[in-house]
Amino acid sequence: MTTDTARMSGSAMRARGANRRDWVRTVLKLLGYLLLTAAALSMLVPFAWMIFTSFKPRQVIFQMPPVIWTTQYTLEHYLKALTQGKFDIYFRNSFIVSGFTTLANLLIVSMGGYAFSRLKWRGRDATFMVVLATAMLPGLIALIPTFLIVKYTPLAGGNDILGQGGTGWLDSYPGLIVPALGGGFSVFLVRQFFSTLPRELEDAARVDGCSEYRIYSQIIMPLSKPVLAVVSIFTFQASWNDFLWPLVIVQSDRMRTIQLGLTLFRSQHNVEWGILMAGTALATAPTVALFLLAQRYFVQGIALTGIKG
Amino acid sequence: MVTAVRARKKQAGLTQQEKAAIVFVFPLLFFLTVYWIIPSLSSLYFSLTNYSVVLKTKWVGLENFGRLFEDVLFWRSLKNSAYFTLGNIPLSIASGLLVAMTVNSAIRFRNAFRVIFYLPVVTSSIALSMVWLWLLDPHFGLVNAALGVIGIDPQQWLQSTTQAMPSIVIMSVWGGVGSTMIIYLAGLQGIPDSLYEAAQVDGANRWQSFRYITLPSLQPITLYLLVTSIIGSFQIFGPIYAMTDGGPAFATTTIVHQIYINGFRYFNMGYAAAQSWVLFMILLGLSVANLRLQVYGFVSD
């Protein structure tokens, strides 16, 4: 009898304890959601504020306390950004530069990756180490000499064959594109991926007398779309967002990229927040859209880099 | 016959694949050599000259490096870069880990949360700077307005010598949390569930699981993040240029900002090259020290 009650109260206590644990867990979970949602909101508010500001009429922007929701939205800031702010030219320039850089880089990097993974040649591994080493160097070290190499490009921008007399590739599309080509890190990614493809594929093709160019373009490349997508996305994003190099070599409006356009506009009209936010939205849209559309490639890219524990 | 022998020799010299390889790597090696390797090496040469585009170039030996010691602004920029790095890294790593652990657990809208935290990472630092300039505007900014609601007076933020650098740190932590998160997420997914299950059987609580399983398993990743973010933080430039241009009163001038000013505003390119080599040496030293410390850590554990 006594043992019975003891057992009963024991199990009742256990049940009550379990109930309380469930309850604590639910509260903790709710608290977690609350904090995470607050953090996520703080991530989104700056972007939302940029977009709201870009559509609000001037007099609403400068109301204090700030008006969060208004009914009088306008496109005038975007129109002014494109005309008065010349953001049409800047946007086009950024697109041309990032587009060409991405396409050319894809070709150069995949060819290099092919040579480093599918072909046998003397000095291959040593050369690959050199290529990797360039990815480790901070680009800043090369900044000043690269500027001079671009300035003294022979037969460009009024230069003679020795690179004297003109401005070379300064303030030009090739100057913005060419020095950014051939990233060591992208070669590494591509080589890793190419190495995973089965050897038999190309051995059979070689026996049949297929040239290396055909093996590369018709067998290896079509099988490597994921890694090529990753490299393209990362290259485009890096090129679109690049700032220091364009800042150093661009002098005219005609060549200014959108990142440069933003800093210039801000230094000239430091209170035109509506137009500045419209320009900022234009500078933000392509990479954010690319990210949202190609999310899985971003995740794959991070996995491919081999940072796994 | 002689030519036949020579032809055979030539064939023995270069295989079919080697000939193809030359064509395949040529473009890559060309661009890397002309725009990376030659510039990187020759910047050491420039650092020993007074190169300036306009004046006649003269060999000055170590004079540029000697001048650095007396350059008040250079010391200031070193201090500011260290300040930024020390503020940015602990906050980024801690918040990145916290967010990664939260979005790694079984929650609703997990993917949406990940996307939201990653948004600033794909956005240019200049665009983010513009948005934050507007948010932190002393008169019409949203941040001061929000603080006003809870009774805090308007702050000067980027226009104050004491608040400018903390403001840039806050923006950078906000902008970088997604990047640390995604790297930690990869690491968290690599920890086998069986470890946690075994710990639970042994009666370990949540904190103990975190302390004795999660943290040690993530150590290589933390080390990787530490090294890469030191390298990244010491090279901060875009936000500095766009938000404060080193001001007010040089409170935010960083090493790369000084290199830019010396090299491309004053065209003291030799001197700027010397500064960039000092930066490189600092980064190299810090990375090696970090790796060393971690190796000792592993051994003593």
pLDDT in tens, B183-209: 898 889 888 888 888 988 888 888 888
Answer yes or no: do A212 and B231 touch at CB < 8 A.
Answer: no
Least-confidence region, from A155-169, B10-24, B42-56, B194-208: B10-24
> Has residue B9 got a pLDDT over 70?
no
CB A249 within 8 A of CB A176: yes
Mutate to test the interface with A, among B16, B40, B152 (most CBs of A within 10 A): B40
> Has residue A137 got a pLDDT over 70?
yes
How many CB atoms within 10 Å of residue B9?
A: 9
User: How open is the CA angle A90-A247-B64, to the nearest 5 degrees?
Assistant: 175
Whether A307 contacts chain B with CB within 8 A: yes
Tokens encoding B211: 């302390």
Query: Cβ contacts (< 8 Å) between B139 and chain A: which residues?
Result: 64
Average pLDDT over residues B170-190: 92
Query: Cβ contacts (< 8 Å) between B123 and chain A: which residues?
Result: 241, 284, 287-288
Q: Give the pLDDT of residue A11.
A: 57
Residue of A nearest to B234 (CA): A138
Q: Give the pLDDT of residue A159.
A: 83
Tokens encoding B67: 């001048």
Contacts of B133 (CB under 8 A, 6+ apart): A266, B158, B242, B243
Nearest-CA distance A142 → chain B (Å)? 4
Average pLDDT over residues A174-200: 90
**Tell me, what amino acid is at A118?**
R
The closest alpha carbon to A243, from A267, A259, A229, belongs to: A259
- pTM of the predicted structure, to 2 decimals: 0.88
Tokens encoding A240: 């679109």
**Tell me, what amino acid is at A95?**
F
Whether A47 contacts chain B with CB within 8 A: yes
Q: What is the pLDDT of residues A12-69, one digit of tens each?
A: 555 666 677 788 888 888 888 888 899 999 999 999 999 999 999 888 888 877 877 7
Range ranked top by mean pLDDT from A7-11, A281-285, B109-113: A281-285
* Total CB pairs under 8 A between chain A and B: 264
> Has residue A287 got a pLDDT over 80?
yes
User: How open is the CA angle B171-B172-B176, to the nearest 5 degrees?
Assistant: 125
Q: Give the pLDDT of residue B193.
A: 87
Q: Got the DSSP string for B31-90?
A: HHIIIIIHHHHHHHHHTTB---SSSPP-B-TTHHHHHHHH-HHHHHHHHHHHHHHHHHHH
> Has residue A114 got a pLDDT over 70?
yes
Q: For chain A, how many residues are written? A: 309
Answer yes or no: do B18 and A66 touch at CB < 8 A.
Answer: no
Give, in order, the Cα–Cα distances in Å from A120 to each of A42, A210, B17, B30, B227.
Answer: 53, 16, 6, 20, 34
The CATH number of B63-300 is 1.10.3720.10
Query: Cβ contacts (< 8 Å) between A43 and chain B: which residues?
Result: 116-117, 119-120, 174, 177-178
Alpha-carbon span A108 to A106, nearest angstrom: 6
Contacts of B36 (CB under 8 A, 6+ apart): A134, A137, A142, A182, A184
Q: Give the pLDDT of residue A199.
A: 86
Report the Cα–Cα distance between both ends of chain B, in Å, rounded.
71
CB A235 within 8 A of CB A101: yes
> Has residue B25 got a pLDDT over 90?
yes
Q: What is the pLDDT of residues A232-265, one digit of tens each?
A: 999 999 999 999 999 999 999 999 999 999 999 9
> Whose structure tokens read 């939201």?
B116
Alpha-carbon span B230 to B294, nearest angstrom: 15
CB B91 within 8 A of CB B169: yes
Q: Give the pLDDT of residue A28.
A: 81
The closest alpha carbon to A230, from A305, A159, A165, A122, belongs to: A305
Mean pLDDT of chain B: 88
Query: Quick one: CA torsion of B220, B222, B225, B226, rounded to 10 degrees?
Result: -110
CB B157 within 8 A of CB B243: no
String of b and e for B120-144 (b: at least 16 CB within 10 Å)? bbbbbbbbbbbbbbbbbbeebbbbb
Q: What is the pLDDT of residues B241-296, one digit of tens each?
A: 999 999 899 999 999 999 999 999 999 999 999 999 999 999 999 888 887 877 66
Q: Give the pLDDT of residue B102.
A: 87
Answer yes or no: do B21 and A178 touch at CB < 8 A.
Answer: no
Residue of B nearest to A250 (CA): B264
Q: How do the domains of chain A map onto residue ranges?
A: 2-61, 76-304
Query: Cβ contacts (< 8 Å) between A44 and chain B: which residues?
Result: 116, 119
Least-confidence region, from A2-11, A94-103, A201-210, B95-104: A2-11
Q: How do the domains of chain B map onto residue ranges?
A: 2-46, 63-300
Q: Give the pLDDT of residue A305.
A: 59
Q: What is the pLDDT of residues A82-107, one digit of tens each?
A: 998 899 999 999 999 999 999 999 99
How many CB atoms within 10 Å of residue B264?
A: 19
The closest alpha carbon to A40, from B138, B3, B118, B91, belongs to: B118
> Whose structure tokens read 């000055």?
B60
Out of B17, B130, B238, closest to residue A280 by CB:
B130
CB A187 within 8 A of CB B24: no
Give, in order, the Cα–Cα distances in Å from A96 to each of A177, A269, A294.
Answer: 9, 27, 21
CB A230 within 8 A of CB A301: yes
Answer yes or no: do B131 and A115 touch at CB < 8 A.
Answer: no
The closest alpha carbon to A217, from A114, A127, A79, A135, belongs to: A114
Peptide bond into A174 cis (omega under 30): no
Q: How far is CA A161 from the centre of its chain?
A: 37
> Whose structure tokens read 């290199």?
B259
Answer yes or no: do B15 and A121 touch at CB < 8 A.
Answer: yes
Check whether domain A76-304 has CATH 1.10.3720.10, yes or no: yes
> Whose structure tokens read 């943290």?
B215
> Has residue A279 got a pLDDT over 60?
yes
**Tell me, what amino acid is at A289?**
A
- pLDDT band of residue A302 (cuts 50, 70, 90) is low
> Has residue B298 got a pLDDT over 60?
no
Average pLDDT over residues A143-152: 92
Give, in order, the Cα–Cα distances in Å from A153 to each of A124, A146, A156, A172, B43.
Answer: 30, 10, 6, 12, 18
